[in-house]
Amino acid sequence: MANLLETPIEYLKGVGPNRGTLLRKELGIHKYGHLLNFFPNRYIDRTRYYKINELQNNVAEVQIIGKIINVKTVAFGKNQKRLVATFVDDTGQMELVWFQGHKWIRESLKLNEMCVIFGKCTSFGNTFNMAHPEIELMTEHEQSLRSAMQPVYPSTETLANRGISNRVINKMMQQLFLETQAQFAETLPEYLTAELKLIPKNAALFNIHFPKSVEALAKAQYRLKFEELFYIQLQLITKNLIRKHKIKGHPFTKVGDYFNDFFKNHLPFELTNAQKRVIKEIRIDMGSNAQMNRLLQGDVGSGKTIVALMSMLIALDNGFQSCLMAPTEILANQHYNGLSELAKELNINIRILTGSTKIAARRIIHEELENGTLHILIGTHALLEDKVKFQNLGLAVIDEQHRFGVEQRSKLWKKNEIPPHILVMTATPIPRTLAMSLYGDLDISVIDELPPGRKPIQTVHRFDSNRLKVWKFIRDEIAIGRQIYIVYPLIQESEKMDYKDLMDGYESISRDFPLPEYSISILHGKMKPADKHTEMKRFSEGKTNIMVATTVIEVGVNIPNASVMIIESAERFGLSQLHQLRGRVGRGAEQSYCILMTSHKLSADSKTRMETMVKTNDGFEIAEVDLKLRGPGDLMGTQQSGVLNLQIADIVRDRDILILARNYALKILKDDASMQKTENTILRATYIELNKKKNIWNYIS
């Protein structure tokens, strides 16, 4: 049977070369097996037949029994025609309309024969019409492999225009089940299906395409969702295990003078329990013979930098160099300043390399890297250049990793014979379900408490009509020596959007906060790096009171004296972006505030976002709400837009199934890592087959 599913799709009766090409191009269906796993995205109740006199203008599809009594072509608009058929039953008449494919539709219509039509109805005047209906002769309708729940398959405009309707796909599916006799190989071991009370694979596939009842459909969906998520988790966990066994790392067995001196004498504050726990996890990883691959999640301001430094000091104690790669120059500079300040008493050599590093400085960096006198190098993508050669790179820290592609990360790996330990840091809290799917092959550490002395940021939502009160509040804060961020979503007015853009905002703020009493900085993505740097410097030195900016400011700007973040047109931002922006304040010991300004017209989603921000400062809680609102694709930003190309499961709605699947995968691999036991024969065979066809990176972009 497995071989039959490898048959090219055009050989299926009723498909042929032309339709085969379309199915390949539009839906990625190349073989019988692809069609079998092309699942409906919804179902319609086909047990009810309407009469024409019962019709209403409704959005749901209806089916009616009757006959076509005539067909004509009607001209409309400029050189346009439509095909119109009159359809009657014993209670009245209506029109069927086609705007494309007139020739072959006209040929296929049978006049005065009983048939069933199916589609959406709308009324014009007193007449109902149905555009591009599905039509089936009564004799065929009675014989077809039909179910109470009619499946509706995903489609495209091209397919609809070329006559490959839902009914055509349904017929192909029936043909596929006839040719294969609905005999499909079981893919889960018996003990698993018994323990979880899952229906057999055959029954699941039949009932997903031709459900006998709502209950049968629910069981089929559950079985197929579990299987899909289970095999993804099996791949991710196996990949992690293989890496730990196969990819050797430098064993950092020693915790020596650098680490101990810093820990005992130079820690600027007491570490939180979460930081201690994470450092311990990293120490254990780097002390084993395997390469570390760990994701460090910590909310804005939770103290990831100090964890990174202490990990680098362990590398240094073992005679190895470290590097830290950040996505932007602003962030790289900030890490450089932060780490240099922390390590100033330690007598270690730290340098920074970015696109704007001068040639003379680069020479020194290259030289010191190769002779080993440079201990820690911080930088942007510039670290990946071939010229950058380390004497012995032992640890690579990557900040905000979703901004770097897989290819870029692998370049860092190749800087050494033995790949360095990898610590990936992110301030974007990733919901547990998404982390299990996207980073299931990484070990995950979470810093889930803020350093002592930090006061939670107070967040309020204000409408534009409250602006005068907000401006008064800003004046009061500036009067006691605080600084203010005001962030806008756009740089220049877009014709379609009436949101306040940065330049307008800057001008009106300049009028309301005039020189010499107030001084304002401006920052946006179109400025030259040197100008950005100057403006940031003026603000961080306290020479300006207000920073008017676009979201350039989102990641990693650290100015403890800035205590108010005003976000204009806050409804334009996603939750994670709002949370990141809010994290720019609250870095000092003073009470900080975040004010979300919006218009009165808010969508339901925008209201939810504002309410969530006001209610909680917990990044993980916010990320969960964001995942529900936006789905996994958007959450990871454009680079990850195809995050999980799942066929049937949905990691938001099927969270419980995902957790169950991961737990079973872990349990099975713990007991039988190479799946060699007799009861796992099916598991191993399916796993090998899947790996050939669909590597985990097909699921994860």
Residues 436 and 518 in one domain: no
pLDDT in tens, 160-208: 888 898 889 999 999 999 999 988 999 999 999 999 999 999 999 999 9
Assigned domain for 621 exists: no
What's the domain range around 112? 47-145
pLDDT in tens, 574-630: 888 899 889 888 877 789 999 999 999 999 899 999 999 999 988 888 888 888 887
Confidence class of residue 494 from pLDDT cuts 50, 70 and 90?
low
Question: What is residue 700's predicted lDDT score, i.e. its pLDDT?
Answer: 41
Domain count of the fold of the chain: 3
Assigned domain for 389 exists: yes
Question: What is residue 440's predicted lDDT score, i.e. its pLDDT?
Answer: 73
What integer is the mean pLDDT of 222-240?
92
pLDDT in tens, 319-362: 999 999 998 888 898 899 989 999 999 999 999 999 889 999 99
Residues 488 and 441 in one domain: no
Residues 422 and 466 in one domain: no
Q: Tell whether the model's pLDDT for residue 697 goes beyond 50.
A: no
Q: Dihedral through CA 656, CA 657, CA 658, CA 664, nearest 10?
A: 110
Residues 407 and 523 in one domain: no
SS3 for 358? coil
Three-state SS string across 475-523, please?
HHHHHCCCEEEEECCCCCCCCCCCCCCHHHHHHHHHHHCCCCCCCEEEE
Assigned domain for 97 exists: yes
Burial pattern 55-66, b for ≥16 Cβ within 10 A else e, equals beeeeebbbbeb
What integer is the mean pLDDT of 51-79?
87
What integer is the mean pLDDT of 666-682?
94
**Residues written for the chain:** 701
* pLDDT winner (highest mean) among 153-157, 179-183, 189-193, 244-248: 189-193
Residues 324 and 378 in one domain: yes
Instruction: Identify the domain boundary among 117, 145, 173.
Output: 145
Percent of the chain with pLDDT over 90: 54
CATH number of the domain where residue 377 is located:
3.40.50.300
Distances (CA, A) of 80 to 86, 101, 129, 229, 269: 20, 13, 19, 49, 76
CATH number of the domain where residue 68 is located:
2.40.50.140
CA–CA gap between residue 678 and residue 681 (Å, rounded): 5
Contact 48, 63 (CB under 8 A): yes
CB within 8 Å of 651: residues ≥ 6 apart: 229, 433, 434, 437, 632, 644, 658
Residues 485 and 410 in one domain: no
Question: What is residue 375's predicted lDDT score, i.e. its pLDDT?
Answer: 97
Residues 393 and 471 in one domain: no
Confidence class of residue 407 from pLDDT cuts 50, 70 and 90?
low
Residues 439 and 464 in one domain: no
H/E run at residue 116: strand 115-124
Q: Dihedral through CA 399, CA 404, CA 410, CA 414, nearest 10?
A: -60
Q: Which of 144, 133, 666 is nearest to 443 (CA)?
A: 666
Residues 564 and 423 in one domain: no
Residues 338 and 273 in one domain: yes
Instruction: Identify the domain boundary among 145, 180, 205.
Output: 145
Residues 497 and 412 in one domain: no
Residues 97 and 64 in one domain: yes
Q: Exposed (0-12), middle (13-18) or buried (19+): which is 519, by Cβ within 10 Å?
A: middle
